[in-house]
Amino acid sequence: MLKPQVFVALIIASAVALVHGRQTTVVPKAKFVPLHPAASTTSLQLTLVLPPTNIDGLHAALYNVSDHKSPNYGKHLSKSDVEAFVAPKPESVQAVTAWLAQHDIDVEVASPSGDMLRIDISVAKANELLAANFIEFKDKDTGATLTRTLSASIPDEVESHLQYLFPTTQFITPLHPNRPPFQVVSPTPEKPTSKRQGVDVCSIDVVPQCLEDYYHVPAAPGTAPGNSIAVAGYLNEIATEDDLEFFFLVWRPDVTTTPEFNVVSIDGGVTSGVGTSEASLDIQYTVGVATGVPTTLYSVGDSSPQGFIDIVNFLLGLDELPLVLTTSYGFNESDFQGSEDFANLSSSTFCNAYAQLGARGTSVFFASGDNGVYSFAFDSECDGTTFGPSFPSGCPFLTSVGATTGFDSGTEVVADFSGGGFSNIFPQPSYQSAAVKNYLDALGSTNAGLFNRTGRAYPDISAQGINYVTRINGTFFLLEGTSASTPVWASVVALLNDALLNAGKPPLGFINPLLYSEGAAALNDITSGSNTGCGAQGFPALAGWDPATGLGSPDYDKLLALVMGL
Ligand SMILES: *[C@@H]1O[C@H](CO)[C@@H](O)[C@H](O)[C@H]1NC(C)=O
Ligand SMILES: *[C@@H]1O[C@H](CO)[C@@H](O)[C@H](O)[C@H]1NC(C)=O
Ligand SMILES: *[C@@H]1O[C@H](CO)[C@@H](O)[C@H](O)[C@H]1NC(C)=O
Ligand SMILES: *[C@@H]1O[C@H](CO)[C@@H](O)[C@H](O)[C@H]1NC(C)=O
Ligand SMILES: *[C@@H]1O[C@H](CO)[C@@H](O)[C@H](O)[C@H]1NC(C)=O
C-alpha cells in the first residue's frame, strides 16, 4: 500500500552521533517480511559509490551548456570532461581498495569515471565486512525477495571515502512484471479501417498520423548522421521486427523502406522472443514517429534500481552517446526515502548519472507515472493522507513527461492518470521556480498539506497518452499511459535534433532550462482537467505550467523555429 507516512519508519539511527565510522540502520516498511537469514554462501553483488571530485562543478557545467543565453550553450562536455568532475579522488580509491584488500576482496571498476566499484562476495563475507546480518525478505505486495540487512557499518578510515553502498539497507522493490506502467485497454480489430479520416478518428485510435497532424510532427525521414534514440527496456520486455513491420504496413504506408531497430543487451536482458506490450509500444512510437532516426532498444536484465544505474554507466562508456534516452518505467519516490542522508545519497547517485548524460548532450526523458498524484500505485494502495511522488521524475536533471487526451481542436485535456506532483527529496531547481510559483499562487489552498511546495515539481511536459494502437505479438491493442507520451516526446526531440545537426548545430541535450523560458510559447498549454489518481482531487491543469501536464504538449513547427534560431 502506498502510505507515505510509513516511510518515516525508514530511518538512520544515530545519524549524527557516529563520529567513528558510519552505521546505517533501517526499519523497513511493513510489507517487507523477514523470511530467514541469507545462506552464508549466497553470492552478493554490491556497488560502492565513491564521492565525486566536483559534483557542483558538473551541475554548473550542465546548466552552462543547457542555458541558451550562455555563450557556452550547446558546447556539450566530452567524455573525459564529465569524468573529471565525477571521478573519485585518488585518496578515496586508495582508502576503499585498501580496506577491501584487507578482506581479500577483488574489486571491479563499475563506471567509466571510476566513481562506482563493484564487489562479488558471499553473504558470510559481507556480514563480516559490514558488521551486517543479511536476511532474505519478501515483499508481500509483489512477491519479490530481497537480500538485505537492517544495519551496516563501515570503518573510520573509509567513512569519508564511501558515499553509498548498495544494496545493503535499501528496501526498494524492483519493477514488477505484473505491474506494467500502462494498461492494456482493449484489443482493436485485426484489420483496422484503412485510411485516417481526419483527427476526429484520433479520439478513438491514436496512430502516428494523429500525432503528425496534431503536433505538426514531420513524416519525412530524418537524415542527419549521428542522430539516434535509445529506448530503455526492463522486465525482459521485447519488441519484434514482425510487429513493427506490420504496424508500418498499416499505419505508415508512406514509408517504403523496411523499418528497423537495434537491440543491445545489458545485464543479460533478452534480445529476442515474443513481442510484449511496453517494448512494442516504445519501439512503435519511436521508430514510427521519429521516422528514419536510428533507434536502439537497450534491454536491461536487472529491473531493480541497479539496472537503472547499469544502463547509464553503459551509455557513459560510449564515445558517441545516443542523443535521446526514453524510459517508461519508474519507482515510488518514498522507496528512496528515509533520513535526509539516505534520500540524499541514494537519489543523488541516480540523479547525478542523468546529469552526466545531459552534460554530454543527451536529452533524458522519463514517464511521470500512471496514477496521478500517487505515481505508480494502484487505487487500493492510496490512503489520501499525502500524495506520493514518483522517482526519478523528481530529479531536476531530466525531463519528466505526463499524459493528455483529446484531439478536437483546443480540447486537449489532462489524462486523469497523468503522474504529477512535487518531490520530497529534490529541491526545486531555479529554472522552474517562477512557473511553479505562478501555479501555486493560482492554486491557493487546494491540496494544502498533501504535497511539498518546495520540492522539484513534475512533469515538465506532456503528450497524448490514451488509445495508442500498438501491435503486440501479431494483434493490435490499444494502450494508455505516460508510457505512450514519453517516446512521443523523445521522437519530437530526435526530429528537432535532426534539423539541428543538418544545420551544423549541436543537439538539444538537457532541455528543461529552454522549455521553462522561451520554450513554453512553443507548446500547447493544457488548461483543463486534473490528475485525479486514486480518486483524489489531484492537481488541476491551469494556464501555464501545472503538475498534471507540465508546460504542455509539443508544437513541432514552433519548436523548430525556436531551436533553429538559437
Ligand atoms: C509503489 O508503491 C505501492 C505501494 O507501496 C506498491 O504497491 C507499488 O508496487 C509501488 N510501485 C513501484 C513501481 O514500485
Ligand atoms: C560557463 O560559461 C562561461 C562562458 O563561456 C565560462 O566563462 C564559465 O567558466 C562557465 N562556467 C562553468 C561552471 O562551466
Ligand atoms: C541533500 O542535503 C543537502 C544538505 O544537507 C541539501 O542542501 C540538498 O538539497 C539535499 N538533497 C539532495 C537531493 O541533494
Ligand atoms: C520537502 O522537500 C524538501 C526538498 O525540497 C526536503 O528537504 C524536505 O524534507 C521535504 N519535506 C518533507 C516533509 O518531506
Ligand atoms: C503469441 O502469438 C502466438 C501466435 O498467435 C500464440 O500462439 C502465443 O501464445 C502468443 N504468445 C503470447 C505470450 O501471447
Q: Alpha helix locations (H) across 446-540?
A: 482-502, 512-515
Q: Can you give the pLDDT at residue 396?
A: 97
What's the confidence (pLDDT) of residue 535?
73
Ligand number with the minimum distance to the CA of 60:
2
pLDDT at 14: 29
DSSP codes, 138-199: EETTT--EEEE-SEEEE-HHHHTT--EEESSS---PPP-TT--SSEEEEE--SS--SS--SG
For residues 418 and 462, is the Cβ–Cβ distance under 8 A?
yes
Query: 409 near 202, Cβ under 8 Å?
Result: no
Predicted model pTM: 0.92
Rounded CA gap, 390 and 374, in Å? 8
Quote the ligand 2 centre to 88 CA distance (angstroms).
Answer: 23
The answer to whether the beta carbons of residues 294 and 263 sit under 8 Å apart is no
In testing the pocket of ligand 4, which one of 425, 440, 451 has its CB within 8 Å of the most ligand atoms?
425
DSSP class of 380: G
Domains of the chain: 4-52+83-166 (no CATH), 197-564 (3.40.50.200)
The mean pLDDT values, 10 residues at a time, for the chain of 566 residues are: 25 32 83 96 95 96 97 97 97 97 96 96 97 95 91 91 90 74 56 49 88 96 97 97 96 96 98 96 98 98 93 97 96 76 71 97 96 78 80 96 87 94 96 98 94 97 95 92 96 98 98 98 97 85 98 98 96
State how beta strands 32-37 and 553-554 pair.
unpaired
For ligand 2, atom 14, which residue shows the shortest CA distance? 61
Catalytic residues: 278, 282, 483
Q: Which residues does ligand 5 sit against, CB inside 6 Å?
A: 274, 473-474
CB count in 10 Å sphere of residue 284: 31
- Tell me, what's the pLDDT at 411? 87
Give CA–CA dist 321/104, Å, rounded: 36
Ligand 4 centroid distance, CA of 348 (Å):
14
Nearest listed ligand to the Cα of residue 15: 3
Nearest one of 490, 489, 494 to 228, comparing CA atoms: 494
d(CA 343, ligand 3 centre) in Å: 9
Residue 337 CB–ligand 4 contact under 6 Å: no
280 C-alpha vs ligand 3 centroid, how far in Å? 38
Return d(Cα 352, Cα 52) in angstroms, integer. Answer: 10
Tell whether ligand 3 has an atom less than 6 A from the beta carbon of residue 426: yes
> Residue 504: its pLDDT value, please?
97
- Residue 338: nearest ligand to its CA? 4
Tell me the residue type at 435. A
The pairing of strands 468-472 and 475-480 is antiparallel
